[in-house]
Amino acid sequence: MPVMRINNNNFQRNANISMVSQTIWRKPGISRIEIARELNLYRSTVTNIIQTLIDANVVYEAEEGEVTSQGGRRPILLRINERMGCVLGLELQVDRFRGVVVDVYGTTLHQIEGTVQAKHFSEVFAEVVERMRPVVESTRLPLLGICVGLPGIVNPDECTIIKSDPFKLENYPFGKEIGCSYPVPVLLENDANCCAWEALARYRDTALKDFLCVLAEHHGHNAQTGLGPGMGVGMALVLGGKLHYGKRYAAGEFTSVLWRPGDGSQFGMSFQEMVRIQQDDEVYKTFVAELFESLKPVVSIFDPEVVFLHGDICARQDLVQSVYNERLDGLKKVMDRVNCRLEFSTGGRMDVAHGAASMFLGKLFSVPELSDVRGYVRLDWDEVFALVSQGSKKTAK
C-alpha cells in the first residue's frame, strides 16, 4: 500500500495537491480564484496544481460562473471528475458481509450483502473481494482502493487488528500479510468508526465538528465463536472534525453503566432477555433505556452537536424515539441542556460498508500534517494518478 511519509521529498507537493483537491471535493463548482483566496495560495500555484489534476483526469472544468460585481471574465468552475474511479467499502462479520461500491463523491453505485463461511479473517476478506470483483468491474471505473470495517480494536494507521473477539484475532498485521498483496491500497477500520467517517464525508462542507456515532447491530448465536445472541454496540467520537482514537485505538469501546463482571454481553441484561430482544418490544425498550442511560455522561462531558444512531437500531426508530421522549430521567434532558440533537441514519444495514468507503475518500482528500506523530497513512497522489490512468486505458479498450 502506498504510504506518504513526512520526510519524503514529495510531502509538500502532496500536501498542496491534497489541499486543492479537498477544497474542490468539499465545494464542487468552486473557481481557481476562490481556491487561491480560501487557501491563501498564489494564483499561479493553484493554477499549476489544477492543471496537474486536470491532466490526470481527477478534475475537470465544468461551467462558467457568474461575473462578479467588479466585472471581468466569467470564472471557470471546477469539479472532481466523478469518473476518476470508485471505492469498495466492506463490512465483514464472521457469518456475513455487506459491500458497497461508491464514486468519489460517496454516491452508491452498487450494494450487496450475503453470507460467508466462518473461517479466518483473511480468507473471508479474499472471498468477499472476489465476489465483489464483477460488481466493481461493471461500473467501468478504475478501482482506487478498498476499505474494510470490522468489530474490534483496529489500528488503521498500520492496518493492524489489535483485537477482535468475533474473529478471534489479536495483533494481526493484516496490511503487511494480506493488504499489501493487492494492486490498490487496502485500509482497515473499526466498524463504529466507519460510521463516523460516513458522517464526516456527508457533512464535509459544514461547520459540524463535534459529534458522537453509536452503532447498534443485532447478532445471533455463533457456535464457532461462542458469542451469544443480542445487541452489539460501538461508539465513535469526533472532536474538532477528527476521529478520537485514544492512545490504544480503543476509544469508543462500549460498556453499559449497568454491566457487572460475569454478564454475558455489554449490558446488564440477562441472557434470556437478549435472546428475546428482536421479538419482545418491552425487552427492546429496556435495551434502549440502558443504552441511553449509558450515553448520558458521555454527552454531558464531551458536549457534542449531534448523536448519530446507526445500524439495526434505526429500523426501530418509532420505538427508540418513544423511549427517548418519555423516560423522564433519560438522555433527552441532557441533550436539551447541551443543545445536542439525536439523528437516525438513513443508511440502514449498509452504514458500516458505506462508512468504510467514506474513510478511504476522507483519507484521499485529507491534508497531511507535520504534527501528526503517528505517521498517519497517506495516499501518494502519483500512485492515485497511476490508478486513474490505468483504469481509464482499460475502459477505453
pLDDT tens by residue, 255-266: 888 888 766 678
Which runs of consecutive H residues, i.e. helices, occur in 101-233?
A: 121-138, 174-177, 191-202
Place of cell 476521529: 243
What is the Cα–Cα distance from 222 to 228, expressed in whole angstroms?
A: 7
**Does residue 4 register a pLDDT over 50?**
no
Torsion from C-alpha of 251, 252, 255, 257, nearest 10 degrees: 100
Alpha-carbon distance of 357 to 187, in angstroms, equals: 9
101 has a pLDDT exceeding 60: yes
The share of the chain scoring above pLDDT 70, in percent, equals 87
Confidence of residue 288 (pLDDT cuts 50, 70, 90): very high
**Each residue's pLDDT tens digit, 214-246:** 999 887 766 555 566 778 899 999 999 999 999
Burial zone of 138 (CB within 10 Å; 0-12 exposed, 13-18 middle, 19+ buried) = exposed
| pLDDT score recorded for residue 264 | 65
C-alpha distances in Å from residue 306, one per residue of 190, 199, 246, 251, 338: 20, 10, 20, 18, 10
pTM: 0.90
Q: How do residues 49-68 score in pLDDT, each as one tens digit?
A: 999 999 999 999 986 545 45
Q: How many CB atoms lie within 10 A of CB 298?
A: 18
pLDDT value at residue 6: 43
Q: Would you mind telling me the total number of residues written for the chain in this entry?
A: 397
